[in-house]
Amino acid sequence: MNCLHDLSIGVLAGWIASALRPYVTQLIVCDPRHNPLISRGNKDDGMADLCRLLRLGELVEVFHPDQDHRVDFKITVQQYLRFTRDCAGLKSQIKSKYQQAGLVHVNGMQVFTKKHRASYLNQLPTNARRSMMENLYEQLDAMDVLQKKARSSMVELGKHYPEIARFQRMPGIGVVGSHVFSAFIQTPHRFANKRKLWQYCGLGIRQRSSAGKPLAYQRLDRSGSGILKAVSHQCWLSCFRTIDANEVLRGLPASHRKLDSCAAQHPAQSAASTLDHLET
């Protein structure tokens, strides 16, 4: 029996979608924020409004992967990124605590190494502060172990996706960037055009106008994935540092190739588009 089912995105959306997919011919996962008719108001008529939008073909669909291994890969990458942020936060906290105690020369990575920790701990004025710093060091060591385990799991799961090896041929992408881009993009066919890809990567251009006249300068849209924006920007910067020609520079207008990183107008879009093209 042909059946179509629509589902609002939420915490259980992934599990519900995977459970329903074998029993329906079409499954639509939508975000209520993009469908004002069902996201506004407190009346208990959301089901009727949802059916109305579905009948009119006005539901805004949100991409949701239909392969469990892709979901597992993205979750693993997100865990690695979360551990990385936690490690960076702990390191900033350790330096801050030392500076509060009057130790101003804590620049660099030497303060975190096990070889030099004792020399810094001995400079603290009280035993209570030394004990507190030892706890932070212990937490940092544990987080470092978890980060390495998450990275190993990420690389192991990434062996199933051939596009990752192609991404790593791009300057500045590296192991982490290639896995992150593959995990978050998943498939290039989810985007109707390259502008949708730019917007998802945090590289969409926002411009305000009235009566055909601009009200402000163009700027990057704040929405989108910050980590994909960072990966695309790093790729673009590295392309300008390499001597050999590469696909990103070939995709830029000749005028942009002569500009530095501050003057070029959103050229990281070219890097994102090139990475997306390599995935096809």
Span 37-56, pLDDT tens digits: 665 655 555 677 777 777 87
Q: Is the pLDDT of residue 181 over 80?
A: yes
Cα–Cα distance between 95 and 93 in angstroms, integer? 5
25 half-sphere exposure, CB direction, 13 A CA radius: 4
Residue 105 lies inside a defined structural domain of this protein: yes
61, β-bridge pairs: 30
Residue 63 lies inside a defined structural domain of this protein: no
Are 155 and 177 in the same domain?
no
Tell me what pLDDT residue 243 has.
57
CB 187 within 8 A of CB 85: no
Domain boundary among 160, 181, 216: 160
Cα–Cα distance between 104 and 98 in angstroms, integer? 7
Cα–Cα distance between 185 and 179 in angstroms, integer? 10
Confidence grade of residue 264 (pLDDT, cut at 50, 70, 90): very low
Are 117 and 191 in the same domain?
no
The stretches of 67-193 forming alpha helices (DSSP H) are: 68-100, 117-121, 127-158, 163-167, 174-185
Contacts of 203 (CB under 8 A, 6+ apart): 220, 224, 229, 232, 266, 268, 269, 272
Are 115 and 177 in the same domain?
no
Domain count, the chain: 3
Q: Which amino acid is at 1?
A: M
Q: For residues 242 and 30, which has the higher predicted lDDT (pLDDT)?
A: 30
Are 156 and 169 in the same domain?
no
By residue range, what is the domain housing residue 124? Answer: 69-160
Tell me what pLDDT residue 182 has.
93
Domain boundary among 100, 133, 160: 160
